[in-house]
Amino acid sequence: MPNARASTGRSLVDVISKGAAQSWQMDNRAQTMLAGKFDFGFAVDWMRKDLGICLAEAKRNGARLPAIALIDQFYAQVQIRGGRRWDTSSLIHLLAQD
């Protein structure tokens, strides 16, 4: 991300990590996420495999999981951008404009 985007990203991270959405991911990975470093954890390909299993079971038993379907679409976009082996924190990459 260019500096202006990184600055905006840092502001976003500050709001999220200091508020109700505080998480291990934001506390420990925020700086690497802002630096575009996504080679630390669970790969997007694996996440999509697991989400696919979840969505297939939901379809089989008639459950509706619109949030999971949306998250799966976001990870599909990361894959299209070349992030198949990036970790799941790479969703932040979708905030960057091409």
Tens of pLDDT, residues 2-35: 455 566 677 777 777 676 677 788 888 888 988 9
pLDDT at res. 4? 54
Q: Per-residue confidence at 1, pLDDT binned at 50, 70, 90? A: very low
Tens of pLDDT, residues 40-56: 889 999 999 999 999 99
The answer to whether 14 and 38 have CB atoms below 8 angstroms apart is no
Cα 45 from Cα 61, distance rounded (Å): 25
More confidently predicted of 76 and 27:
76
